[in-house]
Amino acid sequence: MWERISQWWDLLPDGGSGIFLLLIELVVALTAMGWAYNRGYRNTERGPILRLPLLTVAFGLALLVKHLHEPWWAAAVIAVGVVVAGFLGRNDNGRGLGLPVMLVAALLGFGMLISAAALTLVAMIAYLLSPVKKR
């Protein structure tokens, strides 16, 4: 049984550990921003802290950017990801985290961990300080 698992594990780039770490980084960033975003709402108005459709699209964007080597293709993929995040935000009654999450996913896909952490921190501060009605 373990031989079969190791055969499939070798098909993943970086042995799968890089992909798993990228997913954990995205979950942490999205959870932190979701928590800061929900702080001003009442319990009945709050959305989920971890939005799975947004996490799925952001993870796909990060994986795609990670494996692209042409800068023009990476820029086009990031633009499409931001547009998809805008459509996901519309379904959330205007309460979306799409743009910062897509940008953090792109930065993580490029391997810029400190820049992604800084953008996450800035987004959290902006969500904590902004009034609820303007979000």
What does the domain layout of the chain look like in residue ranges?
2-134
pLDDT at 60 over 90: no
pLDDT at 117: 94
Task: Provide the token pair at 126.
Answer: 């902006």
Q: Where are the beta strands (DSSP E) in 30-69?
A: none
Taking residue 8's Cβ as centre, other Cβ atoms within 10 Å add up to: 9
pLDDT at 8 over 60: yes
What is the average per-residue pLDDT within 91-101?
69
Whether pTM exceeds 0.75: yes
- Amino acid, single-letter form, for residue 7: Q
